[in-house]
């Protein structure tokens, strides 16, 4: 069903998935970290405590790496609609292009300009103004998420348009309808809370690793406390917005909802919710079920029923298949079912760890330093948000198969007619190698920054001057510098 | 053609002009990292000159791309899918140069610092070269079918004119970068940038002559619009001579503005030659016209209002950020 064989369509889809997933490792991390760094700098401005200044500079450094990789992989996103999906661009340009252009104009200029100012003007502006720069960067990056999600929301739930059948394209009739799309206002908070959660648990987890080595206790405990508070709020926000969004799907994209819950047949009044299950030939073969849970989750009530995938498929066939078409509307059920469960279980884990962590990390208590198992757990959880974010997009995007624009255009009709398997194979391989290397360098550099610790004199800007802690490592470089 | 369509054709031209003016010296600085700067201190200083700006400059490209998608989807779809491999290579080049500044600063060994410096230099060179190649091959006319899809062969993209165009644009960007260095640095680095400019301008002028000859032989620009084409080409040469004069007489600002304007003249030349088309087909009946390629009047109207509201605000803080970093950067020796 995933159809990622060596066909033109399969390779195009795989490439889009790969570039987007990789890009989206960095986007939520950068958005969230921008806010966390902004909060840290605000604490510094208010309390004048130098620990906060060091925290700002230190975590800011990791933010800058992530931002750089996010920017360069972002250009791919904008270009590939035209490059790989030219028929999609022709069909959707009237609606999709506008938010994309506004994103660049209103958001990218803001974040790129103010991050440049923020990086290079420590000590040149007064503290409040300098702090404003990082807030504007964070604000700009949030705006960019809003605009691109406006475009994505139209693809999930088209509103405010008219079909131009003669030219085979959609035309915008109401910009406000596109912006007020309910899908957008379900999706946007979920993505933003997810971004906060991602950055919060990465910072908290990195702090945990350093605390395991008994390194800079005060500094890392403070970082951990601040980010766990952010993380806990973000986690609750994610659950709330995830719930609204999922329940919105029941009527809006019933196939997606039924697949997320693994419902093949219509559910009964008993509302059995399957924890895990096996499926074969569009049927559930076995499952572990909890009675009433489905109704509580989906309807916030004990009563009610849900349509199963078989029923939804019948309805969609009646609605969309014309002239004896036999197309089915099933989505990759297992992917959706388990992605959804990974999200849900992780949310519980995040909340639990945040609460326990805040308890262990009380002022005047040393327990966080003694609970090494807990620090290990937190350290390992650094990776979890990235997996969870990816699962979220799997549910959203696989769940609308076979459509690229729901009900209007299929994925197969969207691809560039000029693509060839040879060129796609080449670009897939090169992208993969580049992403693997960029990811590796990111991890190595972040690890290095962590090891150098908050004491390393954090130089502003792009100087290649070895930092204090590097002196022993690279004597040649020092010698060379003197000879020049 | 409606007036909105005309405005948006102009706006796309303006955005690409902004991109080439700003990213032009960015690319030049990137090339200078290994081609021009002699040692690590110099490279630090060279990169420092665009440190706060390169990201914002690149947003001009993203805005131009997004605006093209929004206002002329048929143009965006044909151009971007037709130039698939060229744009892919541009993306690879932009990725390497984009991360190079950040990564290089944190490498521990010389081997890796060299690696990221070369990534910056080659990435910048190939990005400029491939953009030049793309636009010069595009204006010769490409095989477009009725759906607007380009089914080109190797020589559609790589031919004598497109290679000369690529070399000319990358050389122009390199000199533009040197002129920017003259503005932002002082002492030996500035003096050497001036010396290099003086030597490179005759080469560029020779390149421009070859460019004009090939333009005459391979495009319909002179046949369709002789007056305006000649006028823009003369402006291009005058700007080049003015920049050269600026290098001879140490007028740093004059050189920088003039080299920027010569990059803009190239964009104007292309857009003037395209008009009223956006893509030129070898079979003229399939050329994509402004009047057929655009979005609906509603979207164009909306985008016009939004652009003319947001862009002025953006320009204010964008220019202000340059003002903040206006001062020349001292080389490390002068600091000591």
Residue A216: its pLDDT value, please? 85
CA angle B268, B274, B280 (to 5 degrees): 145
pLDDT per residue over A228-259, tens digit each? 999 999 999 999 999 999 999 998 999 999 99
Any chain A CB within 8 A of the CB of B293?
Answer: no
Any chain A CB within 8 A of the CB of B76?
Answer: yes
- Number of other CB atoms surrounding residue A304 within 10 Å: 15
**Is there a contact between A97 and B76 if contact means CB atoms under 8 Å apart?**
yes
How many Cβ pairs within 8 Å bridge chains A and B?
A: 251
Closest approach of B250 to chain A, Cα-based (Å): 27
Give A416's contacts in chain B (Cβ within 8 Å): 77, 81, 84, 149
Residue B180: its pLDDT value, please? 95
Any chain A CB within 8 A of the CB of B306?
Answer: yes
Any chain A CB within 8 A of the CB of B323?
Answer: no
Residue A279: its pLDDT value, please? 85
pLDDT per residue over A193-220, tens digit each? 999 999 999 999 999 999 998 888 888 9
Give B65's contacts in chain A (Cβ within 8 Å): 78-79, 82, 104
Any chain A CB within 8 A of the CB of B289?
Answer: no
Determine the 3-state secondary structure of B231 from DSSP.
helix
Closest approach of B1 to chain A, Cα-based (Å): 17
Residues 6+ apart with CB under 8 A from A176: A160
Among A78, A105, A476, select the one facing B310 at the smallest CB separation: A105
Cis peptide before B88 (omega within 30 of 0): no
Q: Please give the Cα distance from B124 to B23 (Å, whole number).
A: 10
Closest approach of A416 to chain B, Cα-based (Å): 7
**Is there a contact between B307 and A119 if contact means CB atoms under 8 Å apart?**
no
In chain B, the residue whose alpha carbon lies closest to the alpha carbon of A470 is: B108
Name the residue with tokens 């001579």. Answer: B241
Determine the 3-state secondary structure of B135 from DSSP.
helix
**Is there a contact between A484 and B56 if contact means CB atoms under 8 Å apart?**
no
Determine the 3-state secondary structure of B144 from DSSP.
strand
**Is there a contact between B94 and A72 if contact means CB atoms under 8 Å apart?**
yes
Any chain A CB within 8 A of the CB of B62?
Answer: yes
Any chain A CB within 8 A of the CB of B305?
Answer: no
Q: Sign of the CA dihedral A442, B115, B62, A170?
A: negative
- The full set of domain ranges for chain B reads 3-335
- Within chain B, residue ranges assigned H as helices are 3-35, 40-50, 54-71, 73-82, 84-104, 110-138, 154-157, 160-184, 187-218, 221-224, 226-248, 252-274, 290-293, 297-324, 332-335
Name the residue with tokens 């991050």. Answer: A115
**Is there a contact between B81 and A96 if contact means CB atoms under 8 Å apart?**
no
For chain B, positions 41-60, list CB contacts with chain A under 8 A: 41, 43-44, 47-48, 51-53, 55-56, 58-59
Residues 6+ apart with CB under 8 A from A205: A378, A379, A380, A381, A382
In chain B, the residue whose alpha carbon lies closest to the alpha carbon of A422 is: B85
Residue B331: its pLDDT value, please? 58
Q: Please give the Cα distance from A188 to A279 (Å, whole number).
A: 32
Any chain A CB within 8 A of the CB of B234?
Answer: no
Among B87, B310, B324, select the one facing A106 at the smallest CB separation: B310
Residues of chain B with pLDDT under 70: 330-336
Closest approach of B45 to chain A, Cα-based (Å): 8
Residue B330: its pLDDT value, please? 66
Query: Cβ(B90)–Cβ(A432) under 8 Å?
Result: no
**Is there a contact between B92 and A462 if contact means CB atoms under 8 Å apart?**
no
Q: What is the pLDDT along chain A (484 residues), one digit of tens a residue?
A: 444 457 899 999 999 999 999 999 999 999 999 999 999 999 999 999 888 998 999 999 899 889 989 989 999 999 999 999 999 999 999 999 999 999 999 999 999 999 999 988 888 888 999 999 999 999 999 999 999 999 999 999 999 999 998 889 999 999 999 999 999 999 999 999 999 999 999 999 999 999 998 888 888 999 999 999 999 999 999 999 999 999 999 989 999 999 999 899 998 888 888 888 888 888 888 888 888 888 888 888 888 889 999 999 999 999 999 888 889 999 999 999 999 999 999 999 999 999 999 999 888 888 888 889 999 999 999 999 999 999 999 999 999 989 999 999 999 999 999 999 999 999 999 999 999 999 999 999 888 888 888 876 455 445 555 444 443 333 333 333 333 3
How does DSSP classify residue B158? S
Give A430's contacts in chain B (Cβ within 8 Å): 88, 92
Which pair of structure tokens corresponds to residue B69? 């998608």
**Is there a contact between B99 and A104 if contact means CB atoms under 8 Å apart?**
no
The helix (H) or strand (E) run that includes residue B142 is: none
**Is there a contact between A97 and B44 if contact means CB atoms under 8 Å apart?**
no
C-alpha B270 chain-centroid distance: 12
Among B70, B151, B314, select the one facing A109 at the smallest CB separation: B314
The candidate with the shortest Cα–Cα distance to B138, out of B13, B271, B291, is B271
The candidate with the shortest Cα–Cα distance to A83, out of A360, A424, A458, is A424
Closest approach of B237 to chain A, Cα-based (Å): 33
Which pair of structure tokens corresponds to residue A162? 């008219």
- Number of other CB atoms surrounding residue A364 within 10 Å: 4
Q: Are strands A169-172 and A273-280 parallel, antiparallel or unpaired?
A: unpaired
Residues 6+ apart with CB under 8 A from B322: B53
In chain B, the residue whose alpha carbon lies closest to the alpha carbon of A87 is: B77
**Is there a contact between A462 and B306 if contact means CB atoms under 8 Å apart?**
no
Any chain A CB within 8 A of the CB of B283?
Answer: no
In chain A, the residue whose alpha carbon lies closest to the alpha carbon of B74 is: A90
Query: Cβ(A455)–Cβ(A55) under 8 Å?
Result: no
**Is there a contact between A473 and B105 if contact means CB atoms under 8 Å apart?**
no
**Is there a contact between B67 and A101 if contact means CB atoms under 8 Å apart?**
yes
Cis peptide before B276 (omega within 30 of 0): yes
Q: Please give the Cα distance from A54 to B176 (Å, whole number).
A: 39
Any chain A CB within 8 A of the CB of B143?
Answer: no
Phi-psi region of A123 (alpha: psi -120 to 50; beta: other; left: phi over 0): left
Closest approach of B266 to chain A, Cα-based (Å): 23
In chain B, the residue whose alpha carbon lies closest to the alpha carbon of A176 is: B302
Query: Cβ(A384)–Cβ(A29) under 8 Å?
Result: no
Q: Please give the Cα distance from B185 to B169 (Å, whole number).
A: 24
Closest approach of B170 to chain A, Cα-based (Å): 21
Residue A459: its pLDDT value, please? 52
Q: What HEC string does chain A produce? A: CCCCCCCHHHHHHHHHHHHHHHHHHHHHHHHHHHHHHHHHHHHHHHHCCHHHHHHHHHHHHHHHHHHHHHHHHHHHHHHHHHHHCHHHHHHHHHHHHHHHHHHHHHHHHHHHHHHHHHHHCCCCCCHHHHHHHHHHHHHHHHHHHHHHHHHHHHHHCCCCEEEECCCCEEEECCHHHHHCCHHHHHHHHHHHHHHHHHHHHHHHHHHHHHHHCCCCHHHHHHHHHHHHHHHHHHHHHHHHHHHHHHHHHHHHCHHHHHHHCCCCCCCCCCCCEEEEEEEECCEEEEEEEECCHHHHHHHCCCCCCCCCHHHHHHHHHHHHCCCCCCCCCCCCHHHHHHHHHHHHHHHHHHHHHHHHHHHHCCCCCCHHHHCHHHHHHHHHCCCHHHHHHHHHHHHHHHCCCCEEECCCEEHHHCCCCCCCHHHHHHHHHHHHHHHHHHHHHHHHHHHHHHHHCCCCCCCCCCCCCCCHHHCCCCHHHHHHHHHC
Q: Which of B71, B75, B95, B334 is the best substitution to test chain A (most A C-beta atoms within 10 A)?
A: B95
């Amino acid at each position: 069903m995933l159809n990622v064989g060596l066909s033109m369509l399969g390779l195009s889809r795989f490439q889009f998935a790969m570039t987007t997933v990789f890009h989206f490792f960095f986007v939520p991390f950068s958005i969230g970290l921008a806010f966390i760094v902004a909060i840290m700098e605000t604490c510094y401005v208010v309390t004048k405590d130098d620990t906060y200044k060091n925290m700002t500079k230190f975590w800011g450094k990791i933010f800058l790496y992530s931002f750089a990789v996010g920017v360069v992989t972002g250009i791919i996103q904008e270009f590939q609609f035209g490059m790989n999906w030219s028929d999609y661009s022709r069909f959707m340009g009237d609606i999709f292009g506008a938010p994309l252009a506004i994103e660049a104009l209103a958001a990218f200029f803001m974040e790129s300009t103010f991050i440049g100012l923020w990086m290079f003007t420590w000590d040149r502006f007064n503290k409040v103004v300098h702090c404003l720069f990082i807030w504007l960067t964070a604000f700009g990056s949030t705006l960019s998420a809003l605009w691109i999600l406006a475009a994505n929301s139209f693809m999930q739930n088209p509103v405010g348009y008219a079909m131009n059948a003669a030219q085979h394209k959609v035309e915008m009739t109401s910009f406000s309808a596109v912006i007020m799309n309910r899908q957008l206002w379900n999706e946007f908070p979920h993505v933003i809370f997810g971004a906060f959660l991602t950055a919060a648990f990465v910072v908290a987890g990195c702090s945990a690793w350093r605390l395991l080595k008994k390194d800079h206790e005060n500094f890392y405990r403070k970082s951990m406390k601040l980010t766990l508070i952010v993380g806990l709020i973000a986690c609750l926000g994610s659950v709330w917005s995830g719930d609204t969004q999922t329940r919105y799907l029941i009527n809006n994209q019933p196939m997606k909802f039924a697949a997320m819950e693994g419902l093949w047949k219509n559910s009964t009044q008993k509302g059995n919710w399957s924890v895990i299950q096996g499926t074969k030939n569009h049927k559930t073969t076995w499952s572990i079920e909890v009675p009433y849970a489905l109704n509580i989750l989906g309807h916030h009530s004990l009563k009610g029923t849900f349509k199963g995938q078989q029923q939804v498929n019948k309805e969609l066939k009646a609605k969309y298949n014309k002239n004896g078409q036999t197309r089915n509307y099933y989505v990759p059920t297992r992917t959706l079912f388990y992605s959804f469960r990974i999200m849900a279980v992780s949310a519980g884990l995040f909340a639990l760890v945040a609460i326990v962590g805040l308890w262990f990390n009380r002022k005047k208590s040393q327990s966080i330093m003694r609970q090494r198992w807990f620090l290990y757990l937190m350290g390992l959880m650094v990776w979890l948000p990235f997996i969870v974010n990816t699962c979220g997009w799997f549910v959203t995007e696989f769940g609308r198969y076979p459509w690229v624009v729901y009900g209007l255009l299929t994925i197969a009709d969207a691809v560039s007619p000029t693509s060839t398997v040879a060129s796609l194979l080449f670009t897939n391989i090169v992208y993969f190698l580049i992403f693997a290397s960029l990811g590796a360098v990111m991890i190595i550099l972040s690890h290095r920054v962590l090891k150098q610790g908050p004491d390393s004199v954090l130089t502003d800007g792009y100087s290649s001057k070895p930092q204090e802690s590097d002196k022993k490592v690279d004597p040649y470089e020092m010698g060379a510098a003197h000879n020049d | 053609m409606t007036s909105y369509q005309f405005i948006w054709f102009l706006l796309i031209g303006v955005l690409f002009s902004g991109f080439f003016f700003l990213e032009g010296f960015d690319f030049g600085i990137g090339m200078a990292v290994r081609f021009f700067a002699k040692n690590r201190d110099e490279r630090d200083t060279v990169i420092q000159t665009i440190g706060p700006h390169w990201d914002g400059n690149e947003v001009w490209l993203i805005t131009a791309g997004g605006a093209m998608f929004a206002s002329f989807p048929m143009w965006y779809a044909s151009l971007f899918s037709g130039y698939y491999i060229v744009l892919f290579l541009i993306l690879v080049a932009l990725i390497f140069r984009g991360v190079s500044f950040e990564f290089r600063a944190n490498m521990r060994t010389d081997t890796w610092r060299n690696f990221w410096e070369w990534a910056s230099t080659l990435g910048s060179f190939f990005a400029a070269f491939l953009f030049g190649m793309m636009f010069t091959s595009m204006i010769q006319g490409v095989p477009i079918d009725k759906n607007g899809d380009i089914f080109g062969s190797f020589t559609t993209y790589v031919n004598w004119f497109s290679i000369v165009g690529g070399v000319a644009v990358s050389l122009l960007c390199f000199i533009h970068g040197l002129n920017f260095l003259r503005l932002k640095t002082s002492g030996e680095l500035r003096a050497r940038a001036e010396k290099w400019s003086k030597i490179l301008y005759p080469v560029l002028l020779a390149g421009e002559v070859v460019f004009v000859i090939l333009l005459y032989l391979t495009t319909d620009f002179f046949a369709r619009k002789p007056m305006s084409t000649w006028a823009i080409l003369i402006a291009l040469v005058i700007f080049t001579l003015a920049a050269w004069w600026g290098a001879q007489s140490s007028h740093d600002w004059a050189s920088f503005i003039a080299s920027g304007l010569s990059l803009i003249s190239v964009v104007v030349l292309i857009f003037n030659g395209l008009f009223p088309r956006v893509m030129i087909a070898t079979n003229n009946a399939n050329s994509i016209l402004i009047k057929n390629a655009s979005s609906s009047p509603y979207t164009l109207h909306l985008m016009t209002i939004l652009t003319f509201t947001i862009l002025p605000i953006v320009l204010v803080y964008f220019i202000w950020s340059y003002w903040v970093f206006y001062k020349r950067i001292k080389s490390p020796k002068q600091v000591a």
